Structure 1
Amino acid sequence: MKNIVGVWIAILTLAVLAACGGGDDNADASGKKTIQFGATSGPYSDMVNEAIAPLLEEKGYEVKNKEFTDYVQPNKALANGDLDANLFQHGVYLESFAKEHDLELSEVIIVPTAPMGVYSNEFSDIESIENGSTMAVPNDPTNLARALLILEDEGLITMKENIDPLRASLQDIQENTKELEFVEVEAGQLPRLVDSEDLSMVPGNYALAAGMDLLNALALEDMPDQYRNRVAVKTEDMDAQFVKDIKEVIQSEEFESIIDEKFQGFGKPKWMKE
């Protein structure tokens, strides 16, 4: 009888230890130890590899990062469970893509983002831009609206009153003080037009992919947070421990130090400036 009681005591002891989680204290409370990230090739994949992953690994996670070359598959892979989180898109795109494809995806936190800039091999600063200069701008509505905001901030144009600045077009320009001649092209082609046009508005990701230095821009975008990239996860995972840990490492001083050292010129979101 004593032997039987002893056996049951041993079993109960093991059960209690298992319930208390005798494994890695830094792993996700659900037992999750691996986080599969996805990011587009370039600066945001670098941000995962050089800033986010090392800090998560200090918390006991193994972080894997899958690189994508398009802007469709990272969200589909996240929704179907192939990824735990992704980093490649701004808020406007995330919201519209999720709605269009009926996906339950949510933003975790906004990260520093490479801004659009005004680049030129012809002029050294905004003040020296001559009347009638040609300027290449993106032909897609989202990036064109961003470009027009920069030009207005720099005093090169004024926009009509009561327009939605996030949907502004060339037709919404009220005054073109330098009589700029706009050339609309696909955003990915804009780095090449720095050579062929007087000025070119180049989104940050394309500038970096072309080997351009963000700090060489005549002006950099003070972008609204809607246009900054963010980490996204499935909505059902928003309360998971691994998601809380992702947010915590991005909010850390260590993360900001890495950004300041390795991602110079990236615009910081509002929460980092407060």
Structure 2
Amino acid sequence: MVVTENAPFQEPTEIAKELLEDDGWTLETTYVTDIIQPNFSVDNGEYDVNFFQNLTYLWQFNQDHDLDLEPLFFMFEQPSGIYSREYDSVADLPHSAQIALPVDTANNGRGIRLLARAGAIEVDESKSTPELSVDDITENPKELEFVEVDQQSVGTVYDDVDAVFGFARLLAEVDVMPEEALIIETQDEALPFAMTIVAQPGFKEDEPEKYEALKSAYHSEEVRHWYGDYLGGLLTPAFDRDIDAAWEEANQ
């Protein structure tokens, strides 16, 4: 299994590993910071599963690279929003303000959508959120400037730009909490971006015992409790969310 080297992924994985060992399974893990190779590594069979991405990122990655990887189950949801060190509202952002956005397509559009909802820009409304990019901005009266950064770096650039779009957990790690966001996603807006565990197509059907063991360990009360303690319960377990329905909707 290949997993992103970040607490909300790594720590639950270590808990799941211990639970699996108690049941006679061995979970071999590799921790990485890359957000590209883990999907190729599962596609080519080097690893059975990965845990690093949200549902929409997976959909976009499949489209971009002609893959057919599938989500096995949801893990957690996290609110994401626009944050600023200096300004108290989107309306306060000055002319030519610099806004940092994640460079990856699936998350880039989330920030653009929020800025449009706040009235700072107008966008092509025929585009879904995952499809949006700066090229789809139709009106930008303040001539906002967009700086694209790695999704894991938004916390580190927080002090260097006028505002950032970022995951709540990454901002919380630099002591910026969701209540400080200028605007934040609703639960419905955030669901397509819930984090998932991913495998090759047919894994659930072809390896039912592995699938059930993984799901049982990752959806255990021990893991749920860990999320409840992490950053004051900032991340919400999405164990009961219907992954099949969400995946079907994403692919329509």
Name the residue aligned to 2:48: 84
- Deviations 1:146-200 (CA, angstroms, capped at 9, x unpaired): 11223344554454443323212335446668x3623222235533432222212
Q: Does the aligned pair in 2 maintain the 1:207–1:213 contact within 8 Å?
A: yes
The TM-score, its normalising length taken from structure 1, stands at 0.67
Could you say which structure has the larger radius of gyration? 1
1:162 corresponds to 2:162? no
The TM-score, its normalising length taken from structure 2, stands at 0.72
Relative contact order, higher structure (CA 8 A, sep 6+) = 2
Larger CA deviation: 129-138 vs 223-232: 129-138
1:108 corresponds to 2:97? no
1:265 corresponds to 2:204? no
Name the residue aligned to 1:181: 144
RMSD, aligned CA: 3.4
- Deviations 1:18-73 (CA, angstroms, capped at 9, x unpaired): xxxxxxxxxxxxxxxxxxx21021132233124x3344344332333211232233
Change (3 A) 1:74 1:221: same
Change (3 A) 1:228 1:135: farther
SS class of match (1:87) = strand
Name the residue aligned to 2:211: 243
SS class of match (1:195) = helix
Name the residue aligned to 1:212: 174
Structure 2 residue ranges without an equivalent (≥5): 243-252
Structure 1 residue ranges without an equivalent (≥5): 1-36
Change (3 A) 1:53 1:136: same
User: How many pairs are equivalent?
Assistant: 232
Q: Does the aligned pair in 1 maintain the 2:91–2:120 contact within 8 Å?
A: no
1:47 corresponds to 2:9? no
Q: Does the aligned pair in 1 maintain the 2:90–2:115 contact within 8 Å?
A: no
Larger CA deviation: 39-48 vs 54-63: 54-63
Q: Does the aligned pair in 1 maintain the 2:227–2:237 contact within 8 Å?
A: no
Name the residue aligned to 1:227: 193
- In structure 1, how many angstroms separate the alpha carbons of the residues matched to 2:164 and 2:154? 6
**Amino-acid identity (%):** 22
Name the residue aligned to 2:158: 194
- Give 1:145 deviation, angstroms: 0.6
